Amino acid sequence: MSILAFASKQIDLSKPHVMAVLNMTPDSFSDGGKFVSEKSIDISAALRCAESMVNEGASFIDVGGESTRPGAQPVSLQQEMDRVIPVVEAITKNLDVVVSVDTSSPEVMRDAAACGAGLLNDVRALQRPGALEVAAAANIPVCIMHMQGLPETMQENPRYQDVVGEVKQFLQLRKQACVDAGIALHNILIDPGFGFGKKDIHNIALLQHLEDFKDMGPLLVGLSRKSMIGRLLDRDVDQRLAGSLALAMLAAENGASIVRVHDVQETADVLKLLKIIKLSKN
C-alpha cells in the first residue's frame, strides 16, 4: 500500500518525503533551546518555524519534547506534555501538514492523537507500559525504531555480532507485538535507528543494507547532522549540511519513504532532483 492515511491526510509513500524536526527541548544536540527555555515555551515561534518548514517542502513535522541525544536525561511527563501538546494543537489547527509526535510516553501519544497528530514516532518501539494499547486505540500510523540501550547510555559501547540481522530481528518482534495489540499492519513504519546505540561501522552497514528492511514496511530514516558525519568528515554540528544531504540521497535511493531532517529546503531539493532523474530513465 503506497498511499497511507495519517489521520485526515493522505500521503503517497511510493516517493520519498521530508520530515522536518521541530525540537521543543532546551538540550537537543543540534537545535535545542530555540523555542523552549527552562521557564517558558514560545508556541508562536514554533508555529512560524513549522510554517516555514512546510513552505520549504516538509510533508511531516516531527514534534519532540524530550531529547534523545546520546547522554540525554529523561524529563518529567508533565514537562513533556507542556512542551508538545500545545504545539501539536497549534500546527494541526493552522497548517496542512502531518504532525508526527516524537515520544515514548503513552499519555503524550493519547493527547497528541486527540489533537490531530497523524503519526506516533517512538524511539523505544512502543515498549513502555501502555504504549501499544494507546497506539492501537489512536488508530493512526506508528513508527517503531531500534535502539540498543537507552539515550543515557546507548553510545558507551554498543556491540553486535550481525547488526543488520539483529536490528531486523528486533523490529520484526516489535512489529508482531504491534499487530497482536491491534495495530493495523499497514500502519506500521520501520526505523533502523541510525546513531541509537551504534558505532559508525554499524551505521554504515545499516545504510548499505537498507533495502533489506523494505519488506517490513515503509522506512523512516534519520541521519541528519548525526555525530557519525562529524567523525567521518571532521565537521562540527553546524558544518554537516553536505554530509546530511549525501546520506539523505543514499537513504532515499535505497528505499527510505521518509527522511527526517533539520535542513528542509536543501533536502527537498535533493529529493526533487532524484525524482526527476529517476523519471527521466523510464
Tell me: pLDDT of 28 over 70.
Answer: no
Q: What is the mean pLDDT of residues 134-142?
A: 98
pLDDT digits (tens, 9 = 90+) for 70-120: 767 788 999 999 999 999 999 999 999 999 999 999 999 999 999 999 999
pLDDT digits (tens, 9 = 90+) for 49-74: 999 999 999 999 999 998 877 767 78
Q: CATH says 3-281 is which class?
A: alpha beta
Query: Any alpha helices (H) in the chain, and if so which ranges?
Result: 43-56, 77-94, 106-114, 131-138, 163-181, 200-208, 227-233, 241-253, 264-281
Q: Give the angle subtended at the CA of 268 by the CAs of 264 and 269, to the nearest 5°.
A: 120
Show the cell assigned to 68: 534523545
pLDDT digits (tens, 9 = 90+) for 143-188: 999 999 777 666 777 889 999 999 999 999 999 999 999 999 999 9
What does DSSP assign to residue 73? Answer: P
The percent of residues above 90 in pLDDT, for the chain, comes to 82
**Sign of CA pseudo-dihedral 133, 134, 135, 140:** positive
pLDDT digits (tens, 9 = 90+) for 206-265: 999 999 999 999 999 999 999 999 999 999 999 999 999 999 999 999 999 999 999 999
Reported as a pLDDT band with limits 50, 70 and 90, residue 32 is very low
Catalytic residue among 260, 272, 275, 278: 260
Catalytic residue among 168, 198, 225, 226: 226
pLDDT digits (tens, 9 = 90+) for 185-218: 999 999 999 999 999 999 999 999 999 999 999 9
Distance (Å, rounded) from C-alpha 59 to C-alpha 85?
A: 19
pLDDT for residue 31: 54
Task: Residue 138: name the closest of 107, 175, 113, 101 by CA.
Answer: 113
Identify whether 260 is a catalytic site residue. yes
Domain boundaries, the chain: 3-281
Identify whether 225 is a catalytic site residue. no
